[in-house]
Amino acid sequence: MVWISYALTLLLSYTYRNTLHLFRSAHIVDEIRRMSTVLTNKTAIITGGSRGIGLAIAKKLAAAGVNVVVAAKTTEPHPKLPGTIYEAAEEIKAMGGNALALVLDLRDEAMIEKVAMDTVAQFGGIDILVNNASAIYLAGIEHTPSKRYDLMHQINVRGTFLMSQACIPFLKKSSHPHILNLSPPLDMNPAWFENFTAYTMSKFGMSMVAMGLAAEMKPYGIAANALWPRTTIATAAVQNLLGGDALIRQSRWPAIVADAAAIILSRNPKETTGQFFIDEDVLRESGITDFTGYAVDPTTDLAPDLFITL
């Protein structure tokens, strides 16, 4: 009860940098209390959990009492990208959470299997897998080097496939098994293929893995879903690759994706599977109607994310 009370306090005053987002309605308080009760003492692996959306999800789950495994490749400081797996784990521990940093290169099948086994050795099982790690390169077919094509498909599709495969035996033993892929709804609109076909193929591939998992794992009560943001999110990828400071100002903080992920992952896995969720829609369904606190700059019009039409 002490841990649940602590988690409830954190979740009710979740701060992302200088943005404070308080959920005040009785309905939301009930939702957060339920979330903490359901998720306490569960164990989650978050790929790409050292920064951005992955780190935000890791912190959110840790605040709800989840044992969090930060699985990513960054072990040394990067000149353009914030955070290492060790720094992320220490941040989570500093806020009172339980975290384990594990090195993971999703191109290495042996490393994937080791992360799963080390997680079980440390925490006794696996309840949640968040396939967040992704590579991005936005260029048309004519200008996409094979090296970039291979990297996106090795990490986004193959990595998600093999990471899920490695966790399934342990998820089958869980009382609350969830797989959540950070990937978009499937939409064959040519606009989403023009100018970045390789990236679209890789992200839709992640969504197809979620679809396949939902069908295959239904007899075992393992949920498999996908989650995607309605707007661009203030991450290093947006800053460095998509639109710099201007697009950052039109974005929301990763907290909105983390909040939506926590809600999905706290739901009954037998009743919530095979769905493509949009972060804002998940929060609206939970009674949240004011999204101002999630905006980097509330005075600026929001920019839709890729694969989204506002």
pLDDT digits (tens, 9 = 90+) for 243-265: 788 999 999 999 999 999 999 99
Mean pLDDT of 266-291: 96
Average pLDDT over the chain, rounded to an integer: 90
Q: Is the pLDDT at 300 greater than 90, yes or no? A: yes
Catalytic (active-site) positions? 199
Q: Is the pLDDT at 16 greater than 50, yes or no? A: no
Give domain status of residue 16, yes or no. Answer: yes
pLDDT digits (tens, 9 = 90+) for 227-241: 999 999 998 888 877
Pairing of strands 98-103, 67-72: parallel
Task: Describe the crossing of helices 52-63 and 2-12 by its angle, rounded to 10 degrees.
Answer: 140
Q: Is the pLDDT at 17 greater than 80, yes or no? A: no
Give domain status of residue 107, yes or no. Answer: yes
Question: Quick one: which of 94, 14, 7 has its CA closest to 259?
Answer: 14
Q: How many domains does the chain have?
A: 1
The SS3 of residue 103 is: strand
Query: Residue 32 is part of which domain span?
Result: 2-294
pLDDT digits (tens, 9 = 90+) for 18-55: 333 433 345 555 666 777 789 999 999 999 999 999 99
Give domain status of residue 193, yes or no. Answer: yes
* Residue with more model confidence, 244 or 84: 84
What pLDDT band is residue 242 in, cutting at 50, 70 and 90? confident
Contact 135, 126 (CB under 8 A): no
> Domain holding 129: CATH number?
3.40.50.720
Q: What is the DSSP string of 220-247?
A: GT-EEEEEE-SB-B-SHHIIIIIIHHHH
Give domain status of residue 202, yes or no. Answer: yes
Question: CA angle at residue 53 from 125 to 97, to 5 degrees?
Answer: 45
pLDDT digits (tens, 9 = 90+) for 164-210: 999 999 999 999 999 999 999 999 999 999 999 999 999 999 999 99
Per mean pLDDT, which of 8-17, 36-45, 139-148, 235-244 is the most reliable?
139-148
Tokens 């988690």 -> residue: 7
Give domain status of residue 306, yes or no. Answer: no
- With the C-alpha atoms ordered 121, 122, 126, 127, is the resulting torsion angle positive or negative? positive
Q: Is the pLDDT at 69 greater than 50, yes or no? A: yes
pLDDT score at 5: 36
Report the DSSP beta bridge partners of residue 277. 227
Give domain status of residue 128, yes or no. Answer: yes
Give domain status of residue 309, yes or no. Answer: no
DSSP state letter for 85? H
Give domain status of residue 29, yes or no. Answer: yes
